Amino acid sequence: AKPEPLRIMISGAPASGKGTQCELITKKYGLVHIAAGDLLRAEVAAGSENGKRAKEFMEKGQLVPNEIVVMMVKERLLRPDSQASGWLLDGYPRSSSQATALEDFGIRPDLFILLDVPEDILVERVVGRRLDPVTGKIYHLKYAPPETDEIAARLTQRFDDTEEKLRLQTHHQNVEAVLAIYEDLTIKIKGDGPKDELFAQIDSALSGLLEQKKATSTSV
């Protein structure tokens, strides 16, 4: 039988490097990257009713209400591409009620990755973060500078990259409750090193998991 695809969650404070690691993970493992923040920003950009409401909360660094987020994420997780290739869920669940909603739908990950980054580094990362609106790629003025002057000239800053303290508070209020639900599946990665070193640790956990899945699928 074909081994089951990987189902991975990644969590961490704002600017801890989730998006950066997700880019490396999807490149190697072909998982469907589902980022709650990206789905919400797409709604905001589309100007939908949900988008307008979501923006009010995002600007304050608060969690967007569950009635907007939960179905949006669930629907994306259950699409055929995510089911066939496996998924990498980024920035969800962010509260115990969001985790419980997934459990109620029978959705549980193989692994829960927690990026643990000290607060002073988070601030430095968020201040230097830039986004290429054309390719969607994340840069950092110091740690991941743009490759060309043309890209440098078009880089933008995210509208919520200002009230950093508030977003950290929101994160700290919720993280323990989510961790408790996935305790037995969690690996904690010290996230203050270079991105390739962090990825090497994640890569070894994921390849180990894939091996296990292959072994169980051939033994049945």
Residue 190 catalytic?
no
How far apart are CB 149 and ligand AP5 at their closest, in Å? 19
Question: What is the Cα–Cα distance from 33 to 22, expressed in whole angstroms?
Answer: 7
**Toward ligand AP5, which CB reaches closer, 44 or 210?**
44
Rule CB under 6 A: is residue 76 a binding residue for ligand AP5?
Answer: no
**Toward ligand AP5, which CB reaches closer, 95 or 111?**
95
Binding ligand AP5 (rule: CB under 6 A), the pick from 14, 50, 86, 101 is 14
Question: What is the Cα–Cα distance from 42 to 58, expressed in whole angstroms?
Answer: 13
Residue 60 catalytic?
no
**Exactly one of 108, 137, 158, 213 is catalytic; which is it?**
158
Residue 79 catalytic?
no
Binding ligand AP5 (rule: CB under 6 A), the pick from 33, 51, 53, 57 is 57
Residue 52 catalytic?
no
65 in helix, strand or coil?
A: coil
Question: What is the Cα–Cα distance from 33 to 157, expressed in whole angstroms?
Answer: 22
Binding ligand AP5 (rule: CB under 6 A), the pick from 167, 168, 174, 178 is 167
Residue 129 catalytic?
yes
Binding ligand AP5 (rule: CB under 6 A), the pick from 6, 32, 69, 178 is 69
Binding ligand AP5 (rule: CB under 6 A), the pick from 17, 101, 102, 202 is 17
Rule CB under 6 A: is residue 31 a binding residue for ligand AP5?
Answer: no
Rule CB under 6 A: is residue 19 a binding residue for ligand AP5?
Answer: yes
Bridge partner residues of 207 (DSSP): none
Question: What is the Cα–Cα distance from 170 to 122, expressed in whole angstroms?
Answer: 14
DSSP H stretches of helix in 105-137: 119-128
Rule CB under 6 A: is residue 120 a binding residue for ligand AP5?
Answer: no
Q: Take residue 16 and report the two structure tokens written for it.
A: 């801890």
b/e map 70-82, b = 16+ CB within 10 Å: bebbeebbeeeeb
Rule CB under 6 A: is residue 36 a binding residue for ligand AP5?
Answer: yes
Rule CB under 6 A: is residue 138 a binding residue for ligand AP5?
Answer: yes
Question: What is the Cα–Cα distance from 184 to 177, expressed in whole angstroms?
Answer: 14
129-131 and 138-140 beta bridge pairing? antiparallel
* Angle separating helix axes 36-46 and 66-77, nearest 10 degrees: 110
Q: Take residue 44 and report the two structure tokens written for it.
A: 């905001």
Which residues are marked as active site?
18, 94, 129, 158, 167
Question: Which residues form the interface with ligand AP5 (CB under 6 A)?
Answer: 12, 14-20, 36-37, 40, 57-58, 61-64, 69, 91-92, 94, 98, 125, 128-129, 138-140, 143-144, 160, 167, 194-195, 198
